[in-house]
Structure 1
């Protein structure tokens, strides 16, 4: 497979309020910093720890359900497929990544068996994604590509479309060279969250004029850590969120609103291969408009 060139793009990032306060008398003024993001192929010599950290963030409290070291090694074993995003050169830790793994090709590897069993177990708990159980069955003829992607919380979503575009290009090259990336389905593993009532005591909780109707189990509204998921699932054959197998604790440490905590959940989007390119194109159009 031919190696793609490194791509880069400059994006505006807000400077911290502390550093801008001396330069502006207005509280509404925000200085912007130029940040140059660069897209690289995964680097086996440099990316192990950074990728493993991002995988741990992606799987959240269920990270121990899979051997993340083995999963990282598997990602790095296909260095010409997938991308990392960095800001200080190729030898630094990635701030974001995207890759795809062939679940059928690697079905005998213990880490893929762990992941497959995990996803099948979750599909049995949520009817929205129940078809994944049969799709991932050993007797199935489906060739499923598991898309894994994550980024640090302060990395803008605009880095995502180039990674998906590069992935499409690389898969096309791989198929031309008879490599095993001719998928029937793409399964994107992601995460969402719901708002939950704060566990703080009355004396610690902030004063509220109006209390939202949110219980301990969370609200019915789903929020997205990855905004692109809302676009991708418009093209999906199935999608849904699910509770982690391990009980999440400390939702107050993940607050997004003063009066509410956050309950993270796993999320899966299944897209048929024939519709994947259209989903990626819609992703590009969406971020061009925002």
Structure 2
């Protein structure tokens, strides 16, 4: 069940408990499933700092080294009724997932937001697809920066309720004259591509290697909902990280696959008037009733 403390104590919809495979099963065909009940909470500064900081680091990947993550985490925690954490063992445990939105205009003088805005502008210049992003980041435009991340074993189905709650909370905040009346939402995320591993044996078939090297690289999504959001976007695209992990790190992320994995940053810019429709499409894509 989706449960969360909100401003007006509204009743939130239920979602089915997530199911996970039981690794103790000795059969290849019969998979035991276990039910996990996720709970949604407002941010709790006393307990969420370290877990939230880890998720923000994971979201920004290798480029997280460029930012003051503690300052960014504290900024998120300073607006506890905007956004959600998702947990499974009660409010005082580390989150499995998080989501929030930050007003880039409101916080533009904070050093960590200055660094983020500079970084986003620089990355937007690297791709024609992202060109509109730089122009939107002007002092007169109200842009909400959406930060959302989850642990690798957290199901995508938890994202529609998180987005739905975010919309409701932003609307309540606007009614309370708080600075969340955005014209655009900018979602920072990440994708990955599969690349030829450097650990393949020298006697591997050369023809296969050659074919893999020449084929166009397909983009894969850490967050499947991003593919849906892009259909409603004013602009979207990927960018290379500033820091270089090197080929060895790509091999370490093979996860027993033939190919290595190369993460990339991703940005999705959506007009506020189209945001709610985009989130409805996510629910339909993931077969979630909101």
Both structures adopt the same fold (TM-score exceeding 0.5): yes
Q: Contact between 1:208 and 1:259, CA under 8 Å: does it hold in 2?
A: no
- The answer as to 2:248 corresponding to 1:243 is no
Q: Contact between 2:84 and 2:99, CA under 8 Å: does it hold in 1?
A: yes
Q: How far did residue 86 of structure 1 move?
A: 0.1
Q: How far did residue 265 of structure 1 move?
A: 0.1
- The answer as to 2:226 corresponding to 1:232 is no
Q: Contact between 1:65 and 1:118, CA under 8 Å: does it hold in 2?
A: no
Give, in whole Å, the separation in 2 of the partners of 1:65 and 1:214.
33
For structure 1, list consecutive stretches of 5 or more residues without a partner in the other structure: none
Q: With structure 2 as the length reference, what TM-score do the two structures score?
A: 0.90
Q: With structure 1 as the length reference, what TM-score do the two structures score?
A: 0.90
Q: Contact between 1:206 and 1:259, CA under 8 Å: does it hold in 2?
A: no
Q: Contact between 1:54 and 1:150, CA under 8 Å: does it hold in 2?
A: yes
Partner of 1:160: 159
Q: Contact between 1:194 and 1:219, CA under 8 Å: does it hold in 2?
A: no
Q: How far did residue 256 of structure 1 move?
A: 5.1
Give, in whole Å, the separation in 1 of the partners of 2:57 and 2:10.
28
- The answer as to 2:16 corresponding to 1:2 is no
Q: How far did residue 239 of structure 1 move?
A: 0.2
Q: How far did residue 105 of structure 1 move?
A: 0.2
For structure 2, list consecutive stretches of 5 or more residues without a partner in the other structure: 1-5
CA distance change for structure 1 residues 200 and 130 in 2, over 3 Å: closer, same or farther? Answer: same
Q: Contact between 1:95 and 1:152, CA under 8 Å: does it hold in 2?
A: yes
RMSD: 2.3
Partner of 2:107: 106
Q: Secondary structure at the match of 1:166?
A: helix
How many residues in Structure 1 have an aligned counterpart in Structure 2?
280
Q: Contact between 1:40 and 1:83, CA under 8 Å: does it hold in 2?
A: yes
Give, in whole Å, the separation in 1 of the partners of 2:158 and 2:206.
37
- The answer as to 2:195 corresponding to 1:196 is yes
Partner of 2:3: none
Q: Secondary structure at the match of 1:99?
A: strand
